[in-house]
Chains A and B, each alone.
Chain A
Amino acid sequence: MSNLAIKVENLSKAYQLGEIGTGTLSRDLERWWASIRGKEDPFLRIGETNDRSAKGTSNVVWSLKDLNLEIKQGDAVGIIGRNGAGKSTLLKILSRVTAPTTGSVKIKGRIASLLEVGTGFHPELTGRENIFLNGAILGMRKAEIKRKFDEIVDFAGVERYIDTPVKRYSSGMYVRLAFAVAAHLESEILIVDEVLAVGDAEFQKKCLGKMGEVSKGEGRTVLFVSHNMSAIGSLCQKGILLDQGILKSFGEQSTIIDHYNSLNITSNTPKRKHYFGQHSVLEILEYDVTSNDIVLTFKTKLSDHEVFKSLVIIITDVLGNRISLIDLREKLGTTAHHNLTEVLIDHTPLVENTYYIGISIETSLKWYDLKEILLCEIPIKQTSTIQYEPNLRGYVTLSSSYGITC
């Protein structure tokens, strides 16, 4: 195989959890002692997967574990996975920001990475000065930047402000300028971490267009991390799915996205089945989330001298903002001590994102307020156009119809 651009072999990266302080000194000494005697690092032997929600026994965590990959020249590869799956760690290693713990990566050609827009921008300097500085930080030569200067300014659309310090720019303009510099890099490999989450819709489209041009038109290799499946769908032919630091699958983009969505559904399981101890006031029997429906069945049981007064389901976003409340009081038997509730929320208009479902029970004695007991990840709904980022679309998609005449 002569047309490989990147070859990743047994790549692993370990991170240390917790704070660095006096407590870590003894461990460092132990590690140093082991390395002097030519032994293996004692703290890296414990293999533990990187599940951020479960408590582990060791405080070394593997962000990436035994990754093997071969990426061909000219491929546009989308890297997907949940938060903490190791996507950014992989990009960081590829762009040489940090070194792997074990394994190696071999790269053919120049590599340009865009892990963040506007890295190295100095607020006091003007747009013009920052284009040169940022370009140089990204690895361009001065002559190269000079040649492309007009093109960059044009792409960013900030001509009028070019001699104003960037601290006076609006955040949108700042990002435009920064992306414009990076988009004009001449490198064989381009690495892009979710940078498109900023900027207005028009500019997002422009960026995606530029990236498509880079990969399809110029035949350069592109690695692209995003949670925006439709952007990945339109831009990439290949996909990499990471889960807890392990390569789940690598192949055609559409199968990877399907795999990712199916992975999400399995994550929509309750963390616990029983709440409030042995007597378990609440027991989750069934919970299922698809892109259209949410099915929830639970049992509630009260003590003998306790009766129901109210029962509601609360849906919040991850920040705790309440999105919706489902009132179940109408059919609640207010004299019973236990009941079985089945809830079906069909045709959820919720935008794909992560939400929490909570159950709140008021009885004659107490208030059982269980916020965030169920994690609810609504998967993406397949549509024909590229969807905007979930955070731009708010919480719900309203069903609507429209007509446009010219």
Chain B
Amino acid sequence: MKPLTEEDWDIEIKPLNNLLDLKLRDVWHYRDLLLLLVKRDFVSFYKQTILGPLWFFIQPLFTTIIFTFVFGNMAGISTDGLPQPLFYMAGITTWNYFAECLNKTSTVFKDNANLFGKVYFPRLIMPLSIVASNLVRFGVQMLLFLLMMLFYLGTDVQFSPNRYILLFPLLVVLMACLGLGLGMIISAMTTKYRDLAFLVTFGVQLLMYATTVIYPLSTALAKYPTYAWIIEYNPMTPIIEAFRYGFLGKGSFSWQSLGYCTTITLSIMVIGLIVFNKVEKTFVDTV
């Protein structure tokens, strides 16, 4: 029986909350904050620069040039018959988005300790804003990639965008979720003991070589059949392969591998949300 004097409280603060209670209503209320944070990241990125947002282009452009020179020409790694710059640009653009999401999310508690320690807002807003502001950056870099595709259309080089290009939105969502989920797991694990943070900084760099950014999956399978499973089971590989397949018509695409990647991504995302939710309440005391 309910006591007669029970009142309807708006907020209840207790030591522990339900782990699956994501407070999505709260997150929705703070959607303006999300947008403003994205705007902040975007605007503060090129404040006091002359080239402004053009700097978004420069990093992938230079990386592509270096990769073309080092991996394409010096090492002579196959690019599946695609023009080298186009091949590398596809890999770099997608990989950068994932890596940036992961890197930034994994330090979200540490970077924002000051802010989190003084004001309450749904903590989930911060990682979401990271993913969103990287999406802006990714969009700008995609533009560069499309421009490059247009440039190559005029030449006699063979590449064929096909209907699998329609998978693009799904691929972006998968990358965002994977980066976000992994990042949240790491951020939750590094609030008290920071050891893992050291691993992440260079681990992400190394992980790029276990993903098909600078070589096609087919080459890896042909050259190292015993170890290629590491690359195959890396959930980023199917994403990049599908991306290349859709836009450029070359790559090892299969529905099974994409399905595998989706399953892994969703599991990581759920685990990430749960641990993040568990840690966010008291991390202020230990960070």
Contact = CB atoms under 8 A, between A and B. Distances in A.
B12 A104 contact: yes
B124 interface: no
A139 B121 contact: yes
Contact of B121 (A28, A92, A104, A137): A137
A25 B39 CA distance: 40
B119 A110 contact: no
B32 A136 contact: yes
A109 interface: yes
B118 interface: yes
Interface stretch (B40-48, B143-151, B155-163, B258-266): B40-48
Given A2-B7, A113-B120, A20 B286 contact: yes
B115 to A, nearest CB: 5
A254 B43 CA distance: 51
Interface in B225-280: none
A125 B40 contact: yes
A122 B42 CA distance: 12
B37 interface: yes
Given A107-B10, A111-B11, A136 B30 contact: yes
A109 to B, nearest CB: 6
B33 to A, nearest CB: 4
B189 interface: no
Interface string B121-151: 1000000000000000000000000000000
B183 to A, nearest CB: 21
A124 B30 contact: no
A132 B36 contact: yes
Interface in A190-248: none
A93 B120 CA distance: 10
Contact of B40 (A95, A99, A129, A141): A129
Interface in B20-69: 29-30, 32-33, 35-37, 39-40, 43-44, 47-48
Interface in B142-200: 192-193
Given A101-B15, A136-B33, A106 B9 contact: yes
A137 B33 contact: yes
Contact of A96 (B11, B29, B33, B285): B11
Contact of A106 (B12, B15, B48, B116): B12
A120 interface: yes
Contact of A97 (B40, B44, B117): B117
A108 B33 contact: no
A162 interface: no
A97 B284 contact: yes
A113 B15 CA distance: 20
Contacts of B74: none
Nearest to B34: A136
A105 interface: yes
Nearest to B120: A96
A373 B167 CA distance: 75
A98 B113 CA distance: 12
Nearest to A2: B7
Nearest to A21: B193
Contacts of B10: 107-110
Question: Looking at B13, B35, B43, which has the most chain A CB atoms within 10 Å of its CB?
Answer: B13
A116 B120 CA distance: 12
A390 B64 CA distance: 62
B4 to A, nearest CB: 12
A297 to B, nearest CB: 45
B75 interface: no
B16 A25 contact: no
Contacts of B285: 15-16, 98
9 contacts: A25-B193, A98-B281, A99-B281, A105-B12, A106-B9, A108-B8, A115-B119, A136-B36, A137-B33
Interface of B: 5, 7-16, 29-30, 32-33, 35-37, 39-40, 43-44, 47-48, 114-121, 192-193, 281-282, 284-286
